[in-house]
Structure 1
């Protein structure tokens, strides 16, 4: 079965809200487990440009903020709903994320 590795960055203020939204949409299911995720706290940085409407910070000034990186697996048939939930719940105008299509390594053992 094909699935996606979905990783994103989110401020601590919205960590639980965004995770719950994507879990409700079907992310983080691995076998007989749900709400599976890996997360780590770090620092993000960005400088809002003219025309931006930043959630944090001001245009033209470099911001360094505490954020979490969250990683989950998403089944292929759930990816559209998960991405819609992610964008609807994330506070940033331009959230940073990546998505890698993958497969279950156990399928290679057959």
Structure 2
């Protein structure tokens, strides 16, 4: 089992979540579409050669983003990450995958 955490602008949150859910993530027992999310502020500065969805090259940009956390079974994690990267508007989406184990 894995925990998948990603950051996404409010404008694309539901689109990305639906893609990750469709790939098999967010299932706990007899429930699906399980996730936790929190609104915060992300920041980044696009460097030379980047193709930013938001902001301008060499200028710091702040954006309202959601942190979304969910669990994902081993057999779906590769597809879930692929779906996340495909539907996310950023050239380089920020995400983390942690292995978790039941007690």
How many residues are treated as equivalent by the alignment? Answer: 103
1:97-108 to structure 2, matched below 5 A, reads: 97-105=95-103
Q: Looking at CA atoms only, which structure, 1 or 2, has the larger radius of gyration? A: 1
1:81 alignment partner in structure 2: 79
Residue 80 of structure 1 and its aligned partner are, at CA, apart by: 1.1
2:37 alignment partner in structure 1: 39
Structure 1: any 5+ residue segments left out of the alignment? Answer: 106-110
Deviations along 1:20-74, whole A, 9 cap, x unmatched? 0000000000001100000000000000000000000000100011000000000
1:21-40 to structure 2, matched below 5 A, reads: 21-40=19-38
Q: 1:96 aligns with which of 58, 70, 94?
A: 94
Structure 1 runs of 4+ with >2 Å offset: none
Task: Name the TM-score, length of structure 1 as normaliser.
Answer: 0.92
Root mean square deviation of aligned Cα: 0.5
Structure 2: any 5+ residue segments left out of the alignment? Answer: none
Task: Name the TM-score, length of structure 2 as normaliser.
Answer: 0.98
